[in-house]
Structure 1
Amino acid sequence: MIIETDYLGEIEIDSTNIITFEHGIPGFEEEKEFIILTIEEQSAFQMLQSVQTKALAFVITDPGFIIENYIFDLDESTVHALEIKNEKEVSVYSIVSLKETIADSTINLKAPIVINTTNNKAKQVILDNEQYHIRHRIGTESKRGE
């Protein structure tokens, strides 16, 4: 399957890798299908690209690259909606807002994207946890250099 993207041009994707957000992503409820694309080899960052809308893409990363011990519990309704049977089939990403420098960029730790890697169902969840913030500055915390 070929899709068009604003950032990477026309690319071929494997339709079995399409991630489905049953209710879309907050603010983009009409967008249900996305694909994770590699931006650069060896990069901690990837792109969550809409399959339908070429201009809609989010830079994402594993929050574990930024902070240690990023841990939260999923509510039962999310576990049920994504049909999660085992925590090993779960991947977690956070959306990154890139600024002029990585140190000034922010990561959304308050609303991670949770993906069941077995069935490619996904949901952006809002955590009820005061420890995590929507605009957590990456700053010098990045573990990428380790």
Structure 2
Amino acid sequence: MKVTTLRFGEIEISPEEIIEFPEGLLGFDHLHRYVILNTQKDSPFRWLQCVEDGQLAFVIIEPLSFMFSYDLEISDSDAEFLGLKKAEDVILYAIVTIPENVQEMTANLQGPIVINAVNRKARQVISNNPELKLKTRILDEMAKRTEKINSLKPAPTSPKKEDES
């Protein structure tokens, strides 16, 4: 299937790649079919490209690619709606906002995208967790994550000296 997009020109996608949002995304409830594009292999960022409207695409990121932990509770009704059976079937993304100063880019952790990897059904959910913010600064969280990871590494040990007799 060919899709003409604003950013990537004409792209070829297989029907198996399509993610179905039965309710659409917030503000775009009339658009239901998207595909995730990985345009830069070493980047944590992806594009959520609308299949029905080639003009519409969102930058997305997996929260755990820039945060040390991300505790999202998926409600029973969301899990049932998506047909989720196991936690391993969940793929999470946050929509990224990139302002003029890229250093201030943010991720919407309060309204993440939850995808069932098995049936490719998705929903943008709204979390009631007050710790999850609508605008979480990605680079600040990356720095905190790196600091936390470095603090968990064992301290280097100095080589033992042999007794001189």
Match of 2:49 in 1: 49
Q: Whose Rg is larger?
A: 2
Q: Deviations over 1:83-112 (max 9, x none)?
A: 000010110000001124442101101001
C-alpha separation between the residues in 2 aligned to 1:55 and 1:36?
15
In structure 1, what residue type is equivalent to 2:67? I
C-alpha separation between the residues in 2 aligned to 1:2 and 1:36?
15
What TM-score does the superposition give when structure 1 sets the normalisation length? 0.94
C-alpha separation between the residues in 2 aligned to 1:102 and 1:15?
34
C-alpha separation between the residues in 2 aligned to 1:44 and 1:28?
24
In structure 1, stretches of 5+ residues that fail to align are none
In structure 2, stretches of 5+ residues that fail to align are 150-165
Q: Deviations over 1:3-51 (max 9, x none)?
A: 0111111000011110000111110000000000012111110000000
C-alpha separation between the residues in 1 aligned to 2:139 and 2:118?
34
What TM-score does the superposition give when structure 2 sets the normalisation length? 0.84
Match of 1:67 in 2: 67
Map 1:121-140 to 2 at 5 A.
121-140=121-140
Please report the RMSD computed on the Cα atoms of aligned residues, expressed in angstroms: 1.6
Map 1:8-47 to 2 at 5 A.
8-47=8-47
Bigger proportion of residues as helix? 2
Secondary structure, in 3 states, of the residue corresponding to 2:131? coil
Match of 1:82 in 2: 82
Q: How many matched pairs?
A: 146
Bigger proportion of residues as strand? 1
* Superposed structure 1 runs of 4+ greater than 6 Å apart: none
